[in-house]
Amino acid sequence: MKKYGVWLIGALGSVGVTVMTGGLALGRGLIAPDGMVTESKPFHDLDLAPLNALEFGGCDIRCSTILQEVRQMISECRSIDHLLVAEVADQYESIDRRIKPGLALNCGTAIASLDEFQQPQKTLLGEVEKIREEISSFKSENNLEEVVVVNLASTEPLLNLEEFHLDLGAFEKRLADNHSDNIRSGTLYTYAALLEGCPYINFTPSNSTLIPALIELAEKEGLPVMGHDGKTGETLVKSVLAPMFVSRNLEVLSWEGYNMLGNMDGQILNEPENKACKINSKEHVLTEILGYQPHSKVSISCVPSLSDQKTAMDFIHFKGFMGAKMSLQFTWQGYDSLLAAPLVLDMVRLSLLAKKRGESGLMPQLAPFFKSPQGVDEYDHFKQHELLMDYITKVKGE
């Protein structure tokens, strides 16, 4: 059986260890594929990578092990069954050996404070070469057919794009000249992944990863890529509810959202420069769907006791017939990593399919998985889902 690699940037974060633990459990048939879109009926006849054919590796700036991180999740919020962990833990050690020291370049003080490695001073191209060698070794040592790189790292500060971010030639000259200003670790990881011939998924809000210059490279190299920011909670509900108000011609006056989360994600997003990138990813969804900007504010607070159990409370004030003002409120509470992990596995399989079909550049069919899907102007979740279904229909018809 052919094997396929999943290289996770931020492998030891809560989403990363959940992806690996869930992937191993699925491969052994220990759990049902709940939450996996590619395991639903429309996908059954597609030539997707088998779940037991996935091998995991990656990098992280923290020094830990998968088992340590999973045990911490269990002790904090019991989101993963310890009996299930016992069934797959025999594979953790071999994966731990594939997880390499990560890179933290211009990522802000919050992320830099997590860096437990004394990294050697390399040039930018030297760092790219190091990442390439790690991905290449992962592929060759495990006899992998393909490797998909997925960014699950902590949210970087918002990047203000400069001219060199927009053009591949200018970007590569910037690297060759070793000018590191406004180049972040996420940018170098993407560049290295594409040079190694890997499809690339940015599950984070960080806009430093799939800059226009690197999308140009993906198209040149014939590689499928997609981002930004996995849609798992409050924004998912927004993208489903907002079209209802449009369809009933009800004017949304205000839409206030308050998000609370703990774990490492919460700690990083507690920093204003990192939070700004996340809020930028979440805020524009309503305007795009409604066609106007209601009074709206997204708040994010770190609540350590919640750990991985993200909670969002939204208040929607809207106007109806005869000017009557009414409201709707909802609370969304779910284990963030358990909502995200099956989507990561879905996108890995769909990326492998896209590469097999010779597709390159952005994958608009993956829009329903993202808060800010690149290359797609549609934010209505159901219409985004239609993009995916149309793609699947096309694939089956060829």
For 110-127, the pLDDT digits (tens) are 666 665 544 545 899 999
If pLDDT is split at 50, 70 and 90, which confidence band does 307 have?
A: confident
Q: Coil, strand, or helix at residue 391?
A: helix
Same-domain status, 310 and 177: no
What is the number of other CB atoms lying within 10 angstroms of the CB of residue 34? 9
List 333's β-bridge partners, or say none: 311
Same-domain status, 188 and 319: no
Please tell me the pTM assigned to this model.
0.93
Same-domain status, 378 and 325: no
Decide: 3 and 143 in contact? Cβ < 8 Å: yes
Alpha-carbon span 11 to 20, nearest angstrom: 9
- Across 154-158, 162-166, 263-267, 270-274, the highest mean pLDDT is recorded for 162-166
What is the structure's pLDDT at 118? 45
Same-domain status, 102 and 216: yes
| Total structural domains within the chain | 2
| Domain end (from 304, 319, 334) | 334
Lowest mean pLDDT among 22-36, 63-77, 275-289: 275-289
Q: What is the mean pLDDT of residues 318-334?
A: 96
If pLDDT is split at 50, 70 and 90, which confidence band does 329 have?
A: very high
Q: What is the mean pLDDT of residues 213-234?
A: 96
Alpha carbon distances (Å) from 62 to 12, 73, 112, 264, 369: 7, 16, 10, 11, 27
Q: What is the mean pLDDT of residues 13-31?
A: 96
What are the φ/ψ torsions at residue 201 (nearest 5 degrees)? -125, 125
Residue 131 scores a pLDDT above 80: yes
Q: Which residues, in sequence order, are CB contacts of 61 under 8 Å at separation 6+?
A: 101, 102, 103, 104, 111, 114, 115, 116, 117
CA–chain centroid gap for 274, Å, is 15
Residue 309 scores a pLDDT above 90: no
Same-domain status, 330 and 342: no
What is the structure's pLDDT at 268? 66
Residue 374 scores a pLDDT above 90: yes
Residues in the chain: 398
| Domain end (from 288, 318, 334) | 334
Same-domain status, 154 and 281: no
Query: Max CA-CA distance within the chain?
Result: 69
Same-domain status, 193 and 54: yes
Across the beta sheet with 251-261, what order do the strands follow? 295-302, 251-261, 309-319, 325-335
Token duo for residue 307: 């750990």
| Domain end (from 288, 304, 334) | 334
Across the beta sheet with 361-362, what order do the strands follow? 99-101, 54-60, 4-9, 146-151, 200-202, 224-226, 361-362
Q: What is the mean pLDDT of residues 354-380?
A: 97
Same-domain status, 126 and 256: no
CATH number of the domain that 167 lies in? 3.40.50.720
Domain range enclosing 18: 4-229+338-397
Q: What is the mean pLDDT of residues 81-99?
A: 94
Same-domain status, 147 and 185: yes
For 41-55, the pLDDT digits (tens) are 999 999 999 999 999
For 133-155, the pLDDT digits (tens) are 999 999 999 999 999 999 999 88
Same-domain status, 15 and 44: yes
CATH number of the domain that 271 lies in? 3.30.360.10
Alpha-carbon span 19 to 362, nearest angstrom: 23
Calculate Rg over the CA atoms of the chain: 21
Same-domain status, 244 and 257: yes
**Omega cis (within 30) before 385:** no
Same-domain status, 283 and 141: no
